[in-house]
Amino acid sequence: MAMEVILTEDVNHLGHMGDLVRVKGGYGRNFLIPRKLAVLATAGSKKELDHQLAVLADKKAKLKISAQQSASTLSGVSVTIIRQAGEGDRLFGSVTNRDVEAALAAAGHVVDRKRITINDTIKTLGTYEAIVKLHADVSTVVKVVVATV
């Protein structure tokens, strides 16, 4: 059974903050609403949607400005991750977005790991790029250097 919800945050592959979307009942009740990503679209909340859209537009603008400022500080950042390597510079395991998150935190930049995307799996020593998506319209690239002791 489908239900209508109003998104309170941007949700990948679903919509942006303030959108009125139709989702399956279980997805709305068990995922979106408990995580405060959406509220149930009742008759009263639909009436309030117009007012909320103005508030959300202001919130979106502030978040975008904040994301642009964060992107400008992150744009030139290079982090080094130390790993043990075997023959042919192959790592024992791989470097993931959690490792990049920890390296950024050690450098003084707090970024949620869910916002970090690594295009290729990092299984050898070298220099790679990780994309940090700070906002729906704002992303930046961070240089990741994987080295050995």
Cβ-Cβ contacts under 8 Å for 105 (sequence gap 6 or more) = 111
Give the dihedral sign, CA 95/98/99/103: positive
The confidence score (pLDDT) of residue 48 equals 77
Q: How far apart are CA 27 and CA 3, in angstroms?
A: 9
- State which amino acid sits at residue 124: T
The confidence score (pLDDT) of residue 100 equals 94
Pairing of the two strands 78-82 and 139-147: parallel
The CATH class of the 74-147 domain is alpha beta
The confidence score (pLDDT) of residue 136 equals 83
* 42 vs 80 pLDDT, higher one: 80
18, 6 contact by CB (below 8 A): yes
The confidence score (pLDDT) of residue 59 equals 85
Answering whether pTM is above 0.85, one says no
- Residue 131 in tokens: 């994309």
Grade residue 60 by pLDDT with cuts at 50, 70 and 90. Answer: confident
Mean pLDDT of 20-36: 94
Mean pLDDT of 19-45: 91
31-40, 47-56, 100-109, 139-148: the lowest-pLDDT one: 47-56
Instruction: Please give the CATH number for the structural domain made up of 2-71.
Output: 3.40.5.10
Domain boundaries in the chain?
2-71, 74-147
23, 39 contact by CB (below 8 A): no
Is pLDDT above 80 for 45?
A: no
